[in-house]
Structure 1
Amino acid sequence: MSANPSPKPPTALLTGHTGFLGKYLARSLTETGYRVLTLGRTEGDIRTDLATQQPDLSGNVINLVVHAAGKAHSLPRSTEESQVFFQVNRDGTRRLLQALELLKKRPDALVLISTVAVYGCETGEKISEEVTLSGKTPYAESKIQAEALVQTWCAQQGVRCCILRLPLIVGADAPGNLGKMEQAIRRGRYVHIGAGSARRSMVRADDVARMIPKAAQTGGIYNLTDGIHPSVRELGDALARQIGRRMIPTVPIGFARILARLGDGINGVIGRKFPFDSITLEKMTGSLTFSDQLAREKIGWQPRSVLSFFAPDSDIDRNFIQPSDKRGQTY
């Protein structure tokens, strides 16, 4: 007499699996017991460019969708480049939803990886989910529109909806501003400005990945941060220690203001923005933090300090992430 067959594991459809955060998501979902079905442009079980094509999901029973594919980490230099953000982040989301709608059975839940950029804030402290979405960059606007599409579709289809708004993500082989900061420190081209006391919200990639199943079960819209919001100086010094660089030099704030005013003058002469001016200085020296209190209350969010990632005794497996092409990747 044969034993009863084991029940099939639930299936999670994951987009953006080759991206920075996507690799953490794929591993965590697998460890949690999901069969991970990947969708990507050049790699994956289903190969589709969501920016231009609707995927064929027929024949699959999908329990959870984690939509992490997207475009960021680049500044558009033309109208055409700006439109790419909308093609990938908004239109790609729409095509995914249209494909899901063709399935015989809808997924139980959909998790959209979004960004705190939707708030459009340059400075501020403990910004909550109740703040109006005022982001004006192509990246922010395209993510705002993607969020709206997902919320409307989930409500119409009876699918549990969860949107996770993430700040700077810390992990192995990080792209974006953190990657640029690390390279500048390696080359000796990074300095602290004044006290370096401006605080920034950040979150560990592995903490986000571990939270996906619980977030999917509960639904809702949440900011995820480490709750510590380290200062720019703390982050820079931690990075420098990790890569074995000497202490980062400091530029006095008074001297930085003089340089910024020179930049203001150059702006008027050349007719375009100089890399360092008073607006840039204000952004670099002003705090920007987001509240994760709602996530702590509703989904049991218990993150670790991002600075723990850089500690010598960190438990992170730095070898499982292989270097990837990070140009234009979001997560």
Structure 2
Amino acid sequence: MSISIWRYIENSGVPMPDTQHVLVTGANGFVGSRLMEGLSAVPAYTVAGAVRRLTGESADGIQRHAVGDLGAQTDWRPALAGTDVVVHTAARAHVMADAVTDPLAEYRRVNVDGTRALARQAAAQGVRRFVFISSIGVNGNINIAPFRSTDLPAPADAYAISKYEAEQALKQIAAQTGMEVVIVRPPLVYGPNAPGNFGKLMEWVRRGVPLPLGAVNNRRSLVALDNLVDLIATCIAHPAAANEVFLVSDGEDLSTTDLLRRVGNAMGRPARLIPVPPSLLEVAAAMLGKREVARRLLGSLQVDISKTRDVLGWEPPVSVDEGLRRAVAPLTAGGQPSGG
């Protein structure tokens, strides 16, 4: 996997950076594990990971630190020793069937209090830059015009509220300490072994399940896992990234119908889509208590990445079709698209 910041350094004529020690939190997660893999291949970086608990020796040889559950009392100091840059991917993410009595309080405990504790300890240990993986949900959960990083935040659910409050805490700490903070707000991230609804959709297409999504004309921005990792790597080192907020996507917006068709193409099998009017799907979803699922499948959510392009000189290195091919590879025989 190529890393844009290395291409940027090589092509710009600026001096090669000294070795930077990068700590990735959530190192065993969907984004964190891929980021660790990508950064470890860049000569300018030494990489370590932070995880809740160790599960045995890592096959990649990268050091991991067990920090326990995330919250205000988490002691990050052993993991932070010698660190130049922190990339904070660990979070309490969307829980579709939440069993806790106060979901917002639980999101705040992990995503706000935990982030604040990490940032304060990082600044005290002399960390130069803190890259925070937030969420496009800070902007809102549906739009008519594409979101921009300068738009007034409008988080609409507990997860997004907690991410917004974490961003505000980080900006305050940056102002107090001088530690640089970079905020990245991704939309839905897809890739190999993707969790959540996207993983379910891929599996349904693979199994040939008929889906009533053949007439959805929405527009949604997505980001391939490798594109997100590439941007994060750029934000680690690019001088212009300091104290900025960046949106990220593949640069091509898709309808749900087109997305499923292209997932099928990547698998080498047609997606079985039934053209049901979205209005009927919305009514059915409301009756079944699935309004949130319907919003994600039927609504539009686009992001404008022009600031990311202009400030960082960044372009998504992976196309949508290539990103989907990589995403479906674990579901197809031998990692290759299967027929039938």
What TM bracket, shorter-length normalisation?
A: 0.7 to 0.9
> Following superposition of structure 1 onto structure 2, how do residues 302-321 of structure 1 map, counting pairs within 5 Å?
302-303=315-316, 304-311=318-325
Match of 1:100 in 2: 122
Deviation at 1:143, TM superposition (A): 0.3
CA distance 1:317–1:17, shift in 2 (3 Å): farther
Match of 1:10 in 2: 20
- Greater shift in the superposed pair: 297-306 or 139-148: 297-306
Match of 2:165 in 1: 145
- Greater shift in the superposed pair: 70-79 or 112-121: 70-79
Match of 2:136 in 1: 116
CA distance 1:317–1:196, shift in 2 (3 Å): closer
TM-score, normalised to structure 2, is 0.78
Structure 1 residues without counterparts, runs of 5 or longer:
1-6, 267-272, 320-331
CA distance in 2, matches of 1:205, 1:180: 17
| 2:245 counterpart of 1:241 | no
Deviation at 1:88, TM superposition (A): 1.4
Question: Per-residue CA shift, 1:218-244, capped at 9, x if unaligned?
Answer: 221010011111221221112223334
Match of 2:289 in 1: 274
Q: Which amino acid aligns with 1:287?
A: S
Structure 2 residues without counterparts, runs of 5 or longer:
1-16, 55-62, 331-340
Match of 1:250 in 2: 274
CA distance in 1, matches of 2:38, 2:284: 49
Larger radius of gyration: 1
CA distance 1:8–1:281, shift in 2 (3 Å): closer
CA distance 1:281–1:173, shift in 2 (3 Å): closer
Tell me if structure 1 keeps the 8 A contact 2:266–2:328. Answer: no
CA distance in 1, matches of 2:232, 2:280: 46
Deviation at 1:214, TM superposition (A): 2.8
Match of 2:82 in 1: 61
CA distance in 1, matches of 2:263, 2:328: 17
Tell me if structure 1 keeps the 8 A contact 2:24–2:50. Answer: yes
CA distance 1:209–1:194, shift in 2 (3 Å): closer
Question: Per-residue CA shift, 1:145-194, capped at 9, x if unaligned?
Answer: 11111111122211221100001112111112211211232344452435
| 2:227 counterpart of 1:207 | yes
Q: Which has the higher contact order (CA 8 A, sep 6+)?
A: 1
RMSD: 2.7
Q: Which amino acid aligns with 1:37?
A: A
Question: Per-residue CA shift, 1:110-145, capped at 9, x if unaligned?
Answer: 100111011123232321112111113110011001
CA distance 1:59–1:130, shift in 2 (3 Å): closer
Match of 1:327 in 2: none
CA distance in 1, matches of 2:122, 2:281: 53
Match of 1:270 in 2: none
Tell me if structure 2 keeps the 8 A contact 1:9–1:35. Answer: yes
Deviation at 1:14, TM superposition (A): 0.9
Q: Which amino acid aligns with 2:267?
A: I
Tell me if structure 2 keeps the 8 A contact 1:197–1:233. Answer: yes
Which runs of at least 4 in structure 1 moved beyond 6 Å after TM superposition? none
Match of 2:70 in 1: 50
CA distance in 1, matches of 2:103, 2:272: 35
Match of 2:107 in 1: 85
Counterpart of 2:196 (choices 165, 168, 176) is 176
Match of 2:9 in 1: none
Question: Per-residue CA shift, 1:64-108, capped at 9, x if unaligned?
Answer: 1111111213123543344322121111101212322432xx122
CA distance 1:95–1:280, shift in 2 (3 Å): closer
CA distance 1:79–1:26, shift in 2 (3 Å): same
Deviation at 1:307, TM superposition (A): 2.4
Q: Which amino acid aligns with 2:180?
A: R
Tell me if structure 1 keeps the 8 A contact 2:25–2:50. Answer: yes
Match of 2:183 in 1: 163
Q: Which amino acid aligns with 1:275?
A: K
Counterpart of 2:313 (choices 282, 290, 300) is 300
CA distance 1:263–1:89, shift in 2 (3 Å): closer
Match of 2:6 in 1: none
| 2:237 counterpart of 1:223 | no
CA distance in 2, matches of 1:69, 1:259: 34
CA distance 1:237–1:259, shift in 2 (3 Å): closer
Q: Which amino acid aligns with 2:66?
A: R
CA distance in 1, matches of 2:22, 2:304: 29
CA distance in 2, matches of 1:70, 1:165: 14
Tell me if structure 2 keeps the 8 A contact 1:127–1:289. Answer: yes
CA distance 1:60–1:318, shift in 2 (3 Å): farther
CA distance in 1, matches of 2:215, 2:281: 17
